[in-house]
């Protein structure tokens, strides 16, 4: 925490290093463009102007009945001075929508609360839809110019789920064979004895351990490449 992430600013240097090391064979189409138009960076933080609003409250002591005036200053609360983030209406706060509704009620004559809320809600939905469309178009344009963002989190989760299912299927087959061997030995099958059951259990344990080790070895480089593609390392 507290450190600056320059991965997006160093995308051109990273691409050149990957081409030199042979990790990337095809030169991206945006490589020469980023040399003339580098990514923009804003490393400054705007100073928040503290509020000087004060509120007076009258507090009565329940034992003595003495009334005192308490002056509460909002300038000491630093968390109230920070700019608020965009809050969606589904979160229950509806801060931006309610603020817009109050502004309409105060500045538009002869408007009801329901009408003001409908106007603010429709404006909020339109702004959110526009932002989503801009992000989608930017993503498609980046893909069209040769950008690669790696597998999505949903795709990674589906791959891990498939591998876990395959491991479980192998384990269930081995357990089924062991149960059938135990039942056959208990029923008195002359062709299968206790030594054979122990041998099957030992083989199943060894096969399961070997399968887990092989799966870990296969997932280690894939997981590293996935993290590198996700975080741009």
Q: Indicate whether 180 and 209 sit together in one domain.
A: yes
* Strand positions, DSSP E, the chain: 54-60, 67-73
Q: Indicate whether 132 and 185 sit together in one domain.
A: no
Q: How far apart are CA 176 and CA 182, in angstroms?
A: 10
Q: Indicate whether 127 and 91 sit together in one domain.
A: yes
Query: Using 50, 70 and 90 to split pLDDT, how confident is the model at 184?
Result: confident
pLDDT tens-digit map of 130-148: 988 998 999 889 888 888 8
Q: 127, 149, 171 — which closes off a domain?
A: 149
Q: Indicate whether 169 and 219 sit together in one domain.
A: yes
Q: What is the pTM of this model?
A: 0.31
pLDDT tens-digit map of 7-36: 777 888 888 888 888 888 888 888 888 888
Range among 43-52, 112-121, 190-199 with highest mean pLDDT value: 112-121
Q: Indicate whether 106 and 69 sit together in one domain.
A: no
Q: Indicate whether 179 and 209 sit together in one domain.
A: yes
Predicted confidence at residue 72, as pLDDT, reads 54
Q: Indicate whether 43 and 55 sit together in one domain.
A: no
Q: How far is CA 118 from the centre of its chain?
A: 31
Predicted confidence at residue 151, as pLDDT, reads 84
For the segment 204-209, the average pLDDT, to the nearest whole number, is: 67
Question: Across-strand partners of 57?
Answer: 70
Number of domains in the chain: 4
pLDDT tens-digit map of 50-85: 656 566 667 777 777 776 666 555 444 444 444 444
- Domain containing 26 equals 1-48
Q: How many residues does the chain have?
A: 233
Cβ proximity of 128 and 105 under 8 Å? no
Q: Map 69-100 to HEC letters.
A: EEEEECCCCHHHHCCCCCCCHHHCCCHHHHHH
Q: Indicate whether 193 and 164 sit together in one domain.
A: yes
The secondary structure of residue 60, as a DSSP letter, is: E
Of all residues in the chain, the percent with pLDDT exceeding 70 is: 58
Predicted confidence at residue 90, as pLDDT, reads 46
Q: 32, 61, 82 — which closes off a domain?
A: 82
Q: Indicate whether 7 and 60 sit together in one domain.
A: no
Q: How far apart are CA 63 and CA 95, in angstroms?
A: 40
Predicted confidence at residue 160, as pLDDT, reads 92
pLDDT tens-digit map of 149-177: 888 888 899 999 999 999 999 999 888 88
Q: Indicate whether 39 and 14 sit together in one domain.
A: yes
Q: 58, 82, 106 — which closes off a domain?
A: 82
The secondary structure of residue 89, as a DSSP letter, is: G
């Amino acid at each position: 925490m507290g450190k600056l992430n320059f991965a997006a600013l160093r995308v051109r240097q990273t691409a050149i290093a990957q081409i030199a090391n042979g990790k990337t064979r095809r030169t991206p189409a945006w490589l020469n463009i980023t040399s003339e138009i580098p990514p923009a960076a804003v490393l400054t933080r705007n100073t928040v102007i503290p509020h000087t609003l004060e509120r007076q409250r009258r507090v009565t002591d329940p034992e003595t009945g003495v009334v005192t005036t308490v002056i509460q200053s909002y300038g000491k609360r630093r968390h109230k001075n920070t700019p608020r983030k965009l809050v969606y209406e589904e979160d229950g706060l509806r801060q931006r929508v309610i603020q817009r509704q109050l502004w309409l009620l105060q500045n538009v004559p002869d408007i009801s609360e329901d009408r003001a809320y409908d106007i603010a809600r429709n404006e909020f939905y339109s702004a959110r839809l526009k932002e989503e469309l801009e992000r989608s178009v930017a993503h498609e344009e980046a893909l069209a110019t040769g950008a690669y963002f790696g597998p999505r989190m949903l795709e990674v989760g589906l791959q891990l789920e498939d591998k876990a299912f395959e491991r479980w299927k192998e384990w269930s087959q081995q357990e089924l064979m062991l149960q059938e061997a135990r039942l056959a030995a208990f029923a008195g099958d002359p062709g299968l004895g206790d030594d054979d059951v122990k041998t099957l259990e030992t083989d199943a344990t060894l096969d399961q351990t070997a399968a887990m080790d092989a799966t870990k070895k296969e997932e280690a480089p894939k997981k590293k490449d996935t993290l590198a593609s996700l975080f741009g390392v």
